[in-house]
Amino acid sequence: MEHEDIRKRYIAKAQAEIGGLVSRGVCMAGNAFSSLLILKGDLGPGDQGGRTLLAGADGKALHAAFDRLGYAPEDWCALSTKTEAGESLTPELLREAIAVLDPSTLVVCDETAASCVREAYAEELSSLEDFASAMLEPGHVAEVCGMRAMNLGGFEASLSDARKKQIVWAYLKKLPPLGEPY
């Protein structure tokens, strides 16, 4: 089998998996082949009314922060813990969506999303030795299923408070790009 055929099969597989998620109401935005996944539970004004996930001030701030950290502009994907109908994703569907997107870094924007991750990855988190990481406390990096995970603890709310913005920036500095895996 030629390299181009293999590439086409990988793309078709990814399209089918992502299409399956979308057909079940999963809301995503960005590059599905990126290493960085931003998980959002509390949808703000920029996320609602048919607008793209992270289209508001929080998305602009996150893009700027990740750019400063050295991530490529296209190296991000966003996922909501809410379906298009506004219902919470089941833990199984959240795990499936994260597995399909296969990030190396998971950034959890708010406590609603952190609670969903805690439920979906309860077994893996409970096996971590560091209690703060196991509880996904804001600013702590947890290694879960081969990915780094960090809860920012209310990113959108931090944008209106200069001190909280500095704290979140300090958190984000713990997540530099990992580089190529080869």
What residues contact 24, with CB distance under 8 A and at least 6 apart? 83, 93
**Distance in angstroms (rounded) separating the CA atoms of residues 152 and 103:** 17
Task: Render pLDDT for 78-117 as a digit per residue (tens, 0 to 9).
Answer: 999 999 888 999 999 999 999 999 999 999 999 999 999 9
**Distance in angstroms (rounded) separating the CA atoms of residues 110 and 155:** 6
Q: Which residue is associated with the tokens 């969903």?
A: 116
Query: Comparing C-alpha atoms, which of 111, 105, 99, 149 is closest to residue 128?
Result: 149
Task: Render pLDDT for 114-171 as a digit per residue (tens, 0 to 9).
Answer: 999 999 999 999 999 999 999 999 999 999 999 999 999 999 989 999 999 999 999 9
